[in-house]
Amino acid sequence: MVFGNKKEEKTNVVYWQNQGPDDIIYYSGEDELRTLSSVTVPEHAVALFIRDGQLQGTLEPGRHMITSNNIPWLTKLYQKALGYKETPFKVHVIFISLKMFNGKWGIRGMIKAAPGYEVPVTLMSNGEFQFRISDVPVFYTQILGGMKTYSTSNVNALMKSFINEQITQQLAQRYYMDVMQNLEMASTSTKILIDPYFQQRGIELLSLKINEVATTEEEKTKIFEYLQFSSANGEAFKRYEVMDRMADAIGDSQGGAAMGAGMMLFPQMYQQLNQQPVQGVQAQQAQQQAPKVMCPFCGGLNDYPYKFCKECGKPSPQMQSQMQPPVQQAQPVPPAGQGVPGGNRAFQKCPYCGEDLSMLKKTPKFCPYCSEEL
């Protein structure tokens, strides 16, 4: 201190002023170093000496006195400065903390939906990470050297931007459903994959955690529908979408009749969509073979459609709904040509209604047209 004026001499002490628990770096500015200058480095930190943009050396934690023989690289730098008649010489001192720091990340990008459903969907994810400076010279060269100003906020901003970029690139190569179903495994594998990129910048990525992954509500619905109705080639999902669009069209139609008709058609439509085309002989056999219907009264089999059962003569369910009130029973027609010798046919025609029965192998117990007993 110089008495008699207001000018205060600059002290020969360099240290980290007002160090906070979340501070990563501290730039002391341009300091004038001379013999017997004192540099105090806090615990879990190092001091970098920068001159002309180049890293000259580092000091470990503790109080260091600059003399002619205690710090070889600094003494050499000091003597070189004296050769240029620069005393005291000027140097930049940057303190870097080696403690563990916590950070948060958040991304918005694209990711494939699920195996077999390669359509990309929106990815919104966030989480936490921990890191520390592991290689100070590399950290200064790769990170601090490109900064215009040295501050903890700038380092944090760069770290967040860098980790967001790396996580986005890694998750874009995966499936949304795989990540969502196992966040712990996705966190571990992502940390292992991106850690080498941090090592190249003098940073050790201690941990990485994915807290949440999400997508838009519309894309969630599409993924859910796909998983519910998917098949090996995705045909079931396509059929479902067709039916869903038809349901919307029917719902928009006026009147309840259209809605009822649509509901009746849905089972048949879905069955037709699922049917595979039958080719060759199988298709011909399917067309030639007529379906059989069981009589609800006696259990006899009749060709579909039929009016009256060939075994018991009772009307089919369709005929019951169409039958009018009973009329007077018709008189039998004289059995012309009845009784074919040596055969099973009693009538060529029905004696009551006159319908042709010659195409039948034998005369049935009841006429399939008028239900009269033969």
Query: Do both 143 and 80 map to the same domain?
Result: no
Same structural domain, 38 and 123: no
Q: Determine the Cα–Cα distance for residues 51 and 88; give it in Å rounded to an integer.
A: 14
Classify residue 316: in a domain, yes or no.
yes
At residue 222 the predicted structure's pLDDT band, cuts being 50, 70 and 90, is: confident
Q: Do 111 and 138 sit in the same domain of this protein?
A: yes
pLDDT of 175 over the 60 cut: yes
Which range, of 64-68, 132-136, 339-343, averages the lowest pLDDT?
339-343
Whether 300 is covered by a domain: the verdict is: no
Which of 157, 192, 215 is at the close of a domain?
215
Q: Report pLDDT digits (tens) over 286-311.
A: 545 667 777 878 878 888 788 888 88
* Inside any domain, residue 125: yes
Same domain? 203 vs 111: yes
- Residue ending a domain, among 183, 215, 247, is 215
Closest CA to 56 of 39, 100, 99, 42: 39
State the pLDDT confidence band at 347, using cuts at 50, 70 and 90. confident
Residue 55's domain spans which residues? 13-97
Same domain, 91 and 108: no
Environment class of 249 (CB within 10 Å of its CB; exposed 0-12, middle 13-18, buried 19+): exposed
92 and 105, same structural domain?
no
Name the range with the highest mean pLDDT among 114-123, 166-175, 257-266, 343-352: 166-175
Over residues 13-24, the pLDDT tens digits come to 888 988 899 999
Q: What is the pLDDT of residue 126?
A: 96
Residues 164 and 87 in one domain: no
Task: Looking at the structure, tell me whether residues 150 and 187 fall in a common domain.
Answer: yes
The reported pTM is 0.56
- Taking only the tens place, the pLDDT of each residue in 140-157 is 999 988 788 889 999 999
Let me know if residue 264 belongs to a domain.
Answer: no
Are 121 and 207 contained in the same domain? yes
Examine residue 208 and state whether it is found in any structural domain, yes or no. Answer: yes
**pLDDT at residue 167 in the model:** 96
> Which of the listed residues 215, 234, 268 is the one where a domain comes to its end?
215
The domain tally of the chain equals 3
Most confident of 158-167, 279-288, 320-329: 158-167
In a domain, 315, yes or no: yes
Is residue 195 a part of any domain in this protein?
yes
Q: What is the mean pLDDT of residues 83-110?
A: 82
Percent residues over pLDDT 90 in the chain:
32
* Residues 146, 168 within the same domain: yes
The pLDDT, as a whole number, for residue 259 is 45
Do 93 and 48 share a domain, yes or no?
yes
* Domain-embedded: residue 65: yes
Same domain, 150 and 47: no
Q: What is the CATH number of the domain that holds 177?
A: 3.30.479.30
